[in-house]
Amino acid sequence: MTMVFEHFNFAVVIVLMMTGLFAVFASHNMIKKLVGLSVFQTSVFLLYISLSKVTGGRPPVLSKKELHGYGDSYAKAGDGADAAYKTVEKTAEIIYSNPLPHVLILTAIVVGVATLAIGLALVVRTREEYGSIEEDEIDAYNYQDNLEGVSR
């Protein structure tokens, strides 16, 4: 039972991933396929980010006390913002969540939107050429084209 709770996030993320993958495989509409790809992709991000969580950790943003010589000239302005940290700083070392997967996923999000944009441009171009974005209709047209040799 404990194992189920410890790996709860991963189990749900796998279900989400497989839902996205099913949308990619099973739909014949190209835009719905791309939405499924997007859901699949976001689920992979969820997997990575849940790996980087540390129990009792804080977001990887350092407090001013830990930075040697940062922002000395802004000491007045930063007082209010740092008030929240003071209780934590009196205790022992602060735990931070792992920043490295965050960086990797930041890059992946931006690259994902670039590939999505290219995919959507291809869909719009396909619609110009075939008048449809349903895969089976495009297949039927290509079949007809091969059979009768409709000249372009």
Partner 1 sequence: MNFLTPAFILDVGLLAMLVVVAFAVVRLRSLFAIVMLQGVYSLISAAWFVSLDAVDVAFTEAAVGAGISTVLMLGAMLLTEREVKPVPMRRQWAPLFIVVITGMAMFYAIGDMPVFGDPNSIANATLGVEYVEATKSQIIIPNVVSAVLASYRGYDTFGETVVVFVAGLGIVLLLGLNGNAGKWRAKPNGQDVSQIGAEDAS
Footprint of partner 1 on 39-58 (CB under 8 A): 39, 42-43, 45-46, 49-55, 57-58
Judged by CB, which is closer to partner 1: 87, or 131? 131
Q: Which of 87, 91, 128, 146 binds partner 1 (CB under 8 A)?
A: 128
Q: Which of 75, 86, 88, 106 binds partner 1 (CB under 8 A)?
A: 106
State how far the Cα of 14 lies from the Cα of 110, in Å rounded to an integer: 22
Q: Which residues contact 104 (CB under 8 A, 6 or more apart)?
A: 48
Would you give the distance in Å from CA 93 to the centre of its chain? 31
Q: Which of 74, 75, 79, 137 binds partner 1 (CB under 8 A)?
A: 137
Judged by CB, which is closer to partner 1: 75, or 118? 118
Judged by CB, which is closer to partner 1: 89, or 98? 98
Asked whether the CA dihedral 99, 103, 108, 110 is positive or negative, the reply is: positive
State how far the Cα of 30 lies from the Cα of 122, in Å rounded to an integer: 10
Site for partner 1 in 3-22 (CB under 8 A): 3, 5-12, 14-22
Distance of closest approach, residue 83 Cβ to partner 1, in angstroms? 15
Rounded to 10 deg, the angle between the 99-130 and 135-148 helix axes is 40
Q: Which of 74, 75, 88, 118 binds partner 1 (CB under 8 A)?
A: 118
Site for partner 1 in 74-103 (CB under 8 A): 95-103
Token duo for residue 83: 């008030």
State how far the Cα of 151 lies from the Cα of 49, in Å rounded to an integer: 52
Distance of closest approach, residue 78 Cβ to partner 1, in angstroms? 10
Asked whether the CA dihedral 108, 109, 110, 112 is positive or negative, the reply is: positive
Residues touching partner 1, count (CB under 8 A): 100
